[in-house]
Amino acid sequence: MTPGAWVGTNNINSTTYLPTIYPNPTTGAFTLTLPQTNTRATITITNLLGSIIETRTIQNTLPQNINFNLLAPPGTYIIQVTTGDNTSRQKVEVW
């Protein structure tokens, strides 16, 4: 698998939907770019054990950049973005 590749998607109607994360790898600060959606988005960050590190709900459906600054130890984290019945997951490496 390619580093930073999406590890799962469901019901994605357009390839322009997929959010992006940069920089990846990171020291903890990164930006998640969300394309326009038809519903609110829930963003959940977990570690590989499934413990929730942070959750945000975005009401605005316009394209936007969302900044994060994870105060977490180095490791691999899963960024899950859910909009309606669409769920995408991407991993981010924190050094």
Question: Which residue, among 93, 21, 80, has the nearest Cα to 54 in the 3D structure?
Answer: 80
- Average pLDDT rounded to a whole number, residues 59-78: 94
pLDDT tens track for 35-55: 988 889 999 999 999 999 999
Give me the pLDDT at residue 37, please.
85
The pLDDT value given to residue 13: 44
Here the tokens at position 28 are 């903890």
Q: Where are the alpha helices (DSSP H) in the chain?
A: none
Could you tell me the pTM of the whole model?
0.81
Counting residues of the chain whose pLDDT is more than 90, the rounded percentage is 69
In the predicted model, is pLDDT for residue 17 greater than 70? no
